[in-house]
Structures are given as structure tokens and as C-alpha cells.
Amino acid sequence: MNTTAISSNIQVITGNAAAAIAAKLARPDVVAAYPITPQTEVIEQISSFHASGDMDCELITVEGENSAMNAVMAASLAGGRVFTASSSWGLVFMYDAVLATAGARAPVVMVNVNRETPGIIAVSSGQQDMISTRDAGWIFLIAENCQEIMDLVLQSYRLAEDYDIQLPVMVHYDGFFLSYLSEGVEIPEQETVDQFLSVLKSQPKRTVLRPGEKLGVGTHGILGGYMELRHKHVTAMERSKAKFDAIDQEFADIFGRTYGGQLEEYLTEDADMVLVGSGSMCGTIKSVIDEQREKGVRIGLVKIRMYRPFPHQALVKALKGKKAIGVVDRSLAFGFDGGPIYTELKAFETKLGGAKLVSFIDGIANTDITKTNVKQMIQMTADLADGKDVPEVTWVSYPKANKDKGEK
Amino acid sequence: MAEKNKGRLTKVLDYLKYDDPFSKGVSFCPGCGLELLLRFIPRVLGNDIIITGTPSCSAPVLLGQNKQSWHTLSYFGTLMTGAAANATGLVRYYKKAGIDNTVVCFNGDGTANDIGFGNLSGAAERNEPFIYICYDNEGYMNTGIQKSGTTPYGATTTTTPYGTVHKGKNLRRMNLGVKMAMNKIPYTATATLSDLEDLAKKLLKAKKAKERGFCFLHVFAPCPTGWGANPADTIEICRQAVKTNYFPLWEAENGKIRMTKTVKKPKPVSSYTKLMKKFNHMTDADLQILQDDVEYETCLLGGLSVLEAECQLPVSAQD
């Protein structure tokens, strides 16, 4: 492992290494792995832990992502704790198994390193892979930095394997920007992680697939039974919101770091305007907000940490009464005028107490969301708050798209 | 428990050590080879096996889609694309947890040879300790009789119909059993329903060999509905498939092929094809192509069994 020790428990590591170490600390029974850029380093590190005996798991080096998901789904249904990782096309290739895993309520934990999926050279960052699979029935969490990747993976096991939830969880983080970013990460002690996860052992035993126990799994739905299962799935997703907030609180008590659960609010309390973002862009946005605050601009940030189920109640609470809201999307929603998260926020615009909404599309295909870009977004949101005429959608790094708007 | 019967025609009963875990009667096609096979397997291997199966004819039989068919086995209904990977996940977790298990991955030829071949191949490479049984009815029967990679030359299906331009499938079938044996897995075998003692012995060999890794059984299982055959002829079709060398019976330990039934004077393939409608339209010239293909495969199998006897796989690769 390529690390530089700063102190006994803080190391400078990549986002991928943070994911791999977190997986190791969770002590999974079965890990299935297949490489894909920019996730590859995750499974390389896990293979290295496995080879050196630091990770006592069954490591299945499968022949494709579809098998990775199928293998961990089955191991999970048999009663095991599991981990896998993917990205982009890999996530797409495992899609049928991704759906089956959710439908079977298998508490699988995986990381997805966000990457674009168009047919042009797509080795670039963007959240389109996440958006393309958003309604598969998984819980989706998004990390902002390497420390949060580590912490979210640990929290994910508590969420996925909770007896009241029993759903797969995917931890997303921006490919390239975070996968290969090295920064100081506090690595918890094994004993602390064991303590944090020990709650799961004292739960009622979930139904598992064992030899001779006469259980059928993945059987054909019989009309009414299917509706019942789907409804239970949806209500378990709803339960996961409050559960995630509670887990975050407990995490804070043990590890000393808190993020706020479904949403992280940054200087929103007295803000007139708010940007809504997710992932690595939030670090940049926070630094620009700090500068703007010094100039007296009352701007804040709402960072979406839980994307599925969509935390709409929490968002209403955080955004209600603001003058203007700028939503930053790192992906596209075809047929809607605006990015996917913007479009979803628009659905409950009436509950926001008159707040005006505007959509920014930026950071797709590895374009940087720079401080200059963020300043522009804040300026436009301020103009919207002042009642000026602001276009509903702005492609921040590609001004030509805005000029072309309306042309054939 | 089945009674031991030393009678001349009932030696196979000696292998039926366990109760039939299925309820009596299935409201599916009469003469179904798959159902006969599926009822046979747990009676030989035991009722504590876990069966995994994909959406196919096996699914309604296994799942009890119809209330007349039910069973008491542990069952995992999987996706066609990942059945062998599912079985892998199961056996690996049981290994980690120290749970004894026999996982039987039970799928049709569409899953095994076509859409699910990638993960079948991967499981063979990793030598995963479970038994994969392909019941080969030479097509996608539950979907409505479409051609698959194991549909033979000349056969009509709903995607290779008889027309003025094309007359049935104009491609040869793939040899799934040999393909799998060449992976040098601990045990590979072919079997069919006309030779039940042979099938039972092979199931038991597989159960033992899975302690050393991956086992694959390729079982010829007629589909009277899809093939246009008399349901009463299912076993006779199997018998003729063996006697014509259309479906030879062999086994391979670590890839070393050995015939388990040698056909000294093989009958012409027409004595097999005449038992069903899917070959009805074929001319003598068409049948000759099929005959030539059967002879090619038999020759290849003979050659492989001789060659493999001379070759030595490194010991380290055998376990």
C-alpha cells in the first residue's frame, strides 16, 4: 500500500484506498471483485490485504461485474457479510443483478466510483452511472472526500444489515477527483469498528438460505404477493432515512465525526440563497462560500449525502423560506429542462415557500467545477433572488450550450 | 425410503436412497425430460441439497408456479446471466462459515451454453466446489421453442422455422460437454434418462468430486412439446440418441475422457430423428449433414480420449 504515515492513525491515502481499508475493517465474509477504471485500485488493495493474510475473507476474482454482483447477492442471502466495488460500465453490466439484489432485500454493500457512460471516450468523471441506476431499489449514499468515503462505507454496513432495513447500499464517490486524490484520512482502530458494528450481532436473526432448511428465494411473484413485497421495499427505504440520521449520530459519538445524516448543511441557517450539490464539488463550493461570506453574501450549501431514497422531507426543511436555490448536477436528465436532482427538487417546489430554483450543469466528462464556476453560480443565484431574469438551466463550463438553447 | 430390489430390471432403485422431495404430479407437459431428471437428482444426492435455477422450464417445476408441483428443497431462483456466479457466492460463504453443503446449479442449455456461459466458464476456471447440471433440451422451450446454441443442424424452432428460403437451423450445434471437459475440472460427464444407473453413478461421482472443485453434468433431456414427439417416447428418444452416437455417454476426470457406454455398431441418426417432428422436413442430403456431424463429434471424442490418456496434467492443477 502506498501510504505516508503522519501519525499512528492518520495516513495520506487515496479515496480508493479509503474504500478498501474501510471494507477490510468491516470484516466481510465474501468479496467479489472485477477491475474497472477508476475503481481498480480498490480491488487491488483488497487483493493485497487478502494475499498478506490481513483480510480473512473469501475473495472471488470473477470474470465480470455481472458475476460480482450475483456472487455477493447469493453470499449475502446465505447469511454472509459482503463487499464489492464497481464503476460506470461495470455498474451497467451488473444491472440485472443490481435489480435482483434489491428485490431480494440482500444487504450488500458496494462502492461505485462515479464515471460517465456515454459511447464516446468515457474514461471521465460524472454521476451519470449513478443516475442511470437510481431507481433500482438500492440506498444510494454520496461521499465528498476520502475521509467520508471511509466513514460512509462503515456506516453502510450498519444501514444495510439493520434488521428493520435489509437493503443493499451503494456508496458513490467521484471517479478521478476522489478515487485518485490523496489526502489525510483518519483510519479507525479495528476494535472501534468492531464495537460500532457489534450492534448488528444482537439483532433478530434474518432469514437466510441454508442447506436442508427448505427455503425458496427469488421465487416467481404471485400477483398480490408481489405488490406486498414492493410496498414493503418502499417503506423500508423510507425507514432508512431516519435510521441513517441516527447511525450518523452514533458514529459521531464513537468516531468524533458527524456529517448530518441525509444532508449536510453548511451555513444555511441565516442564508438567503443556497446551492444544492453532492460529492467532491462540495469542498470547492464550501471554500467559495467562505470567501463570499467575508463579503457579506448570505449563501449556504446543502450537500446531498443520501440520494436514494430521495431525502425530500429533509430538503424541504433545509430549503424552506430561502429566496433562491441553485442546484448543481453532474449528470443529465433527458427530456427535462435541467439536471436530474434539479428536476426532482422541482417536484416539491410548492412546499419550499416561494423559493426560486435554477439548474446548473457542470463537471460532467471530467470538467472541473472550479471556484470561478462556483462564483458564477452564486452570482446567478443572487440575481435570481433579486428578481432578475436568469435562465432556468446553465451549462457552466460550456457557455455555447446556453447560446444554442432553443436552436435546432 | 426406496426398498432395495435385486430384480433384473430394478437395479437403479439401489441408488434411490432418499425420499422424493416433490409432491406427486406436475401440470406441465407430459413426458417432460427435465421433470424426470429433477425428481431423480435429490433421490440420489439427498434432500439437503440447495438447487439454484434460472427462469426457464425448470423455474415453474421448481417453484411450484402451479400448486400441484412443490418440493421441500432449499431453492434459489436466479437470473439466466449469473446462475454459476450465484452458486459461487453460496459455496464460498458456506466454506467461510464452515457449513456443509451440496449446491446444484440446475439450468437449461440456453443459460449454460449461451447467455450464462461467461460465468459458467469463470466458475470452471476458479474450480468452484459445486455441481452444475445442464439439462439440454436443445432450445428455449419455456419461452416458446426458439433455437439455442445446442439446437442441432436442420431442426425447426420458432426462430429457425421451415420456409421457402431457410429450412430449419442451418448451423451446427455446439458441444457443451466437451467444451467444459477441456477446462480440466475434477469431473465432467454426459448422461441421459434412458441410462439411469449411469446417471446415478455420475451424480454420486460428482458429489464426491466436488470436494476437489467444479463438476459439470451435461444431461440430454427431450422436450416432447418443443420437438413434436410423442410424450410416451421420451425415454426411447434418449435411448436412440445414445445408440446413434447423437449423444454419447462419457465422463472425464480432470479432463481425461473415458466412454461409459461404447456403441459398437451405431445406428444411423435417422433412427433418432424419425421419432420427432422437428426433423420431418429434412431430405436425405440434409440428414447426411447431421450424420456427418455426429460422426465428426464421435471421432473427436475418441481422439480426445486417446490423446488425454497420453498427456499428463500437472498434479498441482488437479486439486
pLDDT at residue B63, rounded to an integer: 65
For residues B157-180, average pLDDT: 96
pLDDT at residue A6, rounded to an integer: 44
pLDDT at residue B111, rounded to an integer: 96
Q: How confident is the model at residue A388 (pLDDT cuts 50, 70, 90)?
A: very high
Residue B2 phi, psi (nearest 5) = -75, 140
Residue B266 belongs to some domain of the structure: yes
Q: How much is the mean pLDDT over chain A? A: 94
For residues A353-366, average pLDDT: 94
Contact B259, B248 (CB under 8 A): yes
Percent above pLDDT 70 for chain A: 96
pLDDT at residue B313, rounded to an integer: 78
Indicate yes or no: pTM above 0.80. Answer: yes
For residues B37-55, average pLDDT: 94
The owner of cell 431430405 is B283
Testing the interface with B: which of A29, A60, A76, A96 to mutate, by most B Cβ within 10 A? Answer: A60
pLDDT at residue B70, rounded to an integer: 74
**Residue A348 reports pLDDT greater than 70:** yes
> Contacts of residue A70 in chain B, CB cutoff 8 Å?
78-79, 81-83, 85-86, 88-89, 119
Hey, are the CB atoms on A70 and B78 less than 8 Å from each other? yes
B46 class by beta-carbon count within 10 Å (0-12 exposed, 13-18 middle, 19+ buried) = middle
Range in B17-31, B40-54, B128-142 with the lowest mean pLDDT? B17-31
**Residue A2 reports pLDDT greater than 70:** no
For residues B111-119, average pLDDT: 97
Interchain contact B76–A (C-beta under 8 A): yes
Q: How many CB atoms lie within 10 A of CB A246?
A: 14
**Residue A163 reports pLDDT greater than 80:** yes
Structure-block grid coordinates of residue B16: 434411490
Quote the domain boundaries for residue B178.
2-284
Range in A29-43, A81-95, A221-235, B256-270 with the lowest mean pLDDT? A221-235
Dist CA B77 CA A367 (whole Å): 43
Q: Tell me which chain A residue has its CA closest to the CA of residue B91.
A: A75
> Contacts of residue A65 in chain B, CB cutoff 8 Å?
none
Peptide bond into A309 cis (omega under 30): yes
pLDDT at residue A402, rounded to an integer: 86
Q: What is the pLDDT of residues A165-197, one digit of tens each?
A: 999 999 999 999 999 999 999 999 999 999 999
Q: How confident is the model at residue A8 (pLDDT cuts 50, 70, 90)?
A: low
Q: Is A105 left (phi over 0), alpha (psi -120 to 50) or beta?
A: left
**Residue A284 reports pLDDT greater than 50:** yes
Structure-block grid coordinates of residue A320: 424552506
Q: What is the pLDDT of residues B266-294, one digit of tens each?
A: 999 999 999 999 999 999 999 999 999 99
Range in A24-33, A146-155, A206-215 with the lowest mean pLDDT? A206-215
The angle at the Cα of B206, spanning B203 to B209, to the nearest 5 degrees, equals 155
Radius of gyration of chain B (CA): 19
Q: Tell me which chain B residue has its CA closest to the CA of residue A67.
A: B85
pLDDT at residue A223, rounded to an integer: 62
Dist CA B300 CA A217 (whole Å): 41
Residue B32 belongs to some domain of the structure: yes
Range in A92-106, A137-151, B21-35, B227-241 with the lowest mean pLDDT? B21-35
Q: Any residues with CB less than 8 A from the CB of A375 and at least 6 apart, and which? A: A288, A292
ipTM metric: 0.94
For residues B53-78, average pLDDT: 76
Interchain contact B59–A (C-beta under 8 A): yes
CA of A107, closest CA in chain B: separation in Å?
14
Testing the interface with B: which of A29, A62, A98, A208 to mutate, by most B Cβ within 10 A? Answer: A62
CB-nearest to A220 from B59, B74, B94 is B59
Contact A198, A139 (CB under 8 A): no
Residue B154 belongs to some domain of the structure: yes
Tell how strand A4-5 and strand A109-114 pair up: unpaired
Scanning B69-175, the segments in alpha helix (DSSP H) are: 83-97, 109, 117-126
Q: Tell me which chain A residue has its CA closest to the CA of residue B89.
A: A71
Residue B306 belongs to some domain of the structure: no
Interchain contact A79–B (C-beta under 8 A): yes
Interchain contact A67–B (C-beta under 8 A): yes
Range in A79-93, A132-146, B51-65 with the lowest mean pLDDT? B51-65
Hey, are the CB atoms on A32 and B97 less than 8 Å from each other? no
Hey, are the CB atoms on A211 and B96 less than 8 Å from each other? no
For chain B, the maximum distance between any two Cα atoms, rounded to a whole number of angstroms, is 60
Q: Tell me which chain B residue has its CA closest to the CA of residue A215.
A: B74
**Which residue(s) pair with A232 in the sheet?**
none
Chain A stretch 186-225, residues whose beta carbon is closer than 8 A to a beta carbon of chain B? 209-220
Q: How many domains does chain B have?
A: 1
Residue B253 belongs to some domain of the structure: yes
CB-nearest to A29 from B75, B83, B96 is B96
CB-nearest to A96 from B49, B79, B95 is B79
Hey, are the CB atoms on A61 and B96 less than 8 Å from each other? no
pLDDT at residue B2, rounded to an integer: 45
Q: Any residues with CB less than 8 A from the CB of B39 and at least 6 apart, and which? A: B20, B22
Q: How much is the mean pLDDT over chain B? A: 92
Residue B37 belongs to some domain of the structure: yes
Tell me the CATH number at B243.
3.40.50.970
Testing the interface with A: which of B92, B105, B107, B126 to mutate, by most A Cβ within 10 A? Answer: B92
pLDDT at residue A4, rounded to an integer: 46
Q: How confident is the model at residue A21 (pLDDT cuts 50, 70, 90)?
A: very high
Q: Tell me which chain A residue has its CA closest to the CA of residue B75.
A: A216
Higher pLDDT, A297 or B307: A297
Residue B311 belongs to some domain of the structure: no
For residues B198-204, average pLDDT: 98
Q: How confident is the model at residue B10 (pLDDT cuts 50, 70, 90)?
A: low
Residue B38 belongs to some domain of the structure: yes
Dist CA B314 CA B319 (whole Å): 10
> Contacts of residue A32 in chain B, CB cutoff 8 Å?
85, 89
Hey, are the CB atoms on A210 and B73 less than 8 Å from each other? no
Percent above pLDDT 70 for chain B: 92
Testing the interface with B: which of A50, A57, A58 to mutate, by most B Cβ within 10 A? Answer: A58
Residue B150's Cα: distance from chain center in Å?
Answer: 11
Dist CA A245 CA A265 (whole Å): 13
